[in-house]
Amino acid sequence: MGTNIVCKFGGSSVSNAGQIEKVRRIVCADDNRRFVVVSAPGKDGSEPEKITDHLFNVATHGHHFRSRGKSITERESFDRVLAKFRSLVAELGIRGDDILDDLESDLTSHISNKKRIDFFASRGEHYNAKVIARYFQSKGMDAKLVLPEDMGFLVSDRFGNAKVLPAAHSGIRESLKDGPVSIIPGYYGITLKGDIAVLSRGGSDLTGGEVAYAVDASCYENWTDTDGVYQVDPRIISGASVIPELTYKEIRLLSSGGFNVFHFDAMVSCKNKSIPINIRNTNNPTAPGTRIVSSRTPGETAVGIARMDGIAYVYIEKDMIGETIGFTKELLDIFKDFGINTHHYPSDKDDIAVIVDQHDLMDKADDLKETIVKRLSPDFLDIRYDLCLLSPVGIGMKNTPGVLARASAALYQENINIEIVDQGPSQLSFHFGIFQKHADAGLTALYRSLLK
């Protein structure tokens, strides 16, 4: 493993000229920061919608916002994208007429539908990288622009959700092995047929992770607008602290429970090479942030508490469920057929609950119940809404007696009933389902009991 650091800067970090200057200073502060992955410009207060959403709107001739009940036309989105990049060029004081002309040409190009959406969606990262590279150069930095299409960042042709191909790593490694600081647009790659295809939303994280893997980075820094991963949501509990260090497993458990600070797929390649990930704050660069590592020695029991709001569960009673081979599979296949993602499945001998996001049941609940009754003939079936799932996480909880008892007692003291409890065999987390109206009080009680 080398000494080079890969830095990824999210949309809030590159939203305007002032933020881009912060990025430049951060890169200059450490000579090991050789690879800089950038997102499209984020919202900076003057624009309520993200540039990438405007690009989707242009690509879909206005359908993207219409489907969300927003009256923003294709032309308005087109104008806002151009205005944003004109503003960046002017505020940064760089020569940019050619960049703006190319952007306008791309946004008026005629491409077939599926390829069109991905091509347009990628333009935010593509042109922001061009702007940032030119700005760095104007400040005397030894920097170069490296596009995914130039370094062979190969992805599958699953447009809208492309996957990075193993062959991409050799191309990345060869393109980035020497030379100046490389500025790389995130979020998209190139298919074997030469088409632009985007990764899932938040895919710039993934680009950074794949670059870190390819160049054997010593660290992958993910710069955002928060000091790191907090024990709990600091907007609810002001005394919550940043967690200094987490394992990949812990951040996975926290992210599946509402800690959406990092694209998990981006961790996979880093995990395979034990490359630490450091989540940092562009607006507070002296803060150490949160490090994500392969292993650590815990000095605490629980390290954080995730929270998922808007939860429902489908509850089924039927004699002999526990002895009926294939019952759970057939039940979950029904949810799959309806396109409903499931989270947990607490069960007993004669009953089972399937926990889902209640939003996913919208306009499907009656048909779902009807199908379950027809195919599984339950003795009783009900859907219960308006719950919150609270999930303490920590490798220190494994084999520590009394953690569940302490947590249950904390809720009992607040007169909060536990509607559902579930714990996996790893003992690294457990889940309490409580009514949504008690969510803040329940989170506070668990924080005081397990973290404070």
Instruction: Give me the percent of the chain exceeding a pLDDT of 90.
Output: 80
The band of 179, judged by pLDDT with boundaries at 50, 70 and 90, is confident
Is residue 358 within 8 A of residue 389, CB to CB? The reply is: no
- Residues 398-451 pLDDT 10s: 888 999 999 999 999 999 999 999 988 888 999 999 999 999 999 999 999 999
- Residues 324-367 pLDDT 10s: 899 999 999 999 999 999 998 888 889 999 999 999 999 999 99
Residue-range domain boundaries for the chain? 5-293, 304-450
Is residue 393 within 8 A of residue 436, CB to CB? The reply is: no
Is residue 313 within 8 A of residue 381, CB to CB? The reply is: no
Identify the pLDDT of residue 3: 87
Identify the pLDDT of residue 281: 96
Q: Pairing state of beta strands 188-190 and 196-198? A: antiparallel
| pLDDT of residue 224 exceeding 80 | yes
Type of residue at 351: D
The band of 297, judged by pLDDT with boundaries at 50, 70 and 90, is very high
Q: In the chain, count of helices (H) and strands (E)?
A: 15, 15
- 258-281 burial by CB neighbour count: b if 16+ within 10 A, else e? bbebbbbbbbebbbeeebbbbbbb
- Residues 407-419 pLDDT 10s: 999 999 999 999 9
Identify the pLDDT of residue 1: 62
| Residue corresponding to tokens 């347009």 | 120
Type of residue at 21: E
* Mean predicted confidence (pLDDT) in 385-391: 95
The band of 262, judged by pLDDT with boundaries at 50, 70 and 90, is low
Provide the CATH number for the domain formed by 304-450 in this structure. 3.30.2130.10
- 122-158 burial by CB neighbour count: b if 16+ within 10 A, else e? bbbbbbbbbbbbbbbbeeebebebbbbbebbbbbeee
Identify the pLDDT of residue 44: 81
Q: Which of 213, 190, 198, 188 lies closest to 266, judged by CA? A: 213
CA distance 15 to 28: 19
* Mean predicted confidence (pLDDT) in 359-382: 95
User: For residue 434, what are the β-bridge partners?
Assistant: 388
The band of 261, judged by pLDDT with boundaries at 50, 70 and 90, is low
Ordered alpha helix ranges (H), 151-299: 168-176, 203-214, 248-255, 265-272
- Residues 64-111 pLDDT 10s: 999 989 999 999 999 999 999 999 999 999 999 999 999 999 999 988
Higher local confidence (pLDDT), 262 or 304: 304
Identify the pLDDT of residue 266: 73
Q: Domain 5-293 adopts which CATH fold?
A: Carbamate kinase (3.40.1160)
Beta strands in 129-203 (DSSP E): 143-145, 181-185, 188-190, 196-198
Task: Work out the widest C-alpha separation in the chain, in whole angstroms.
Answer: 75
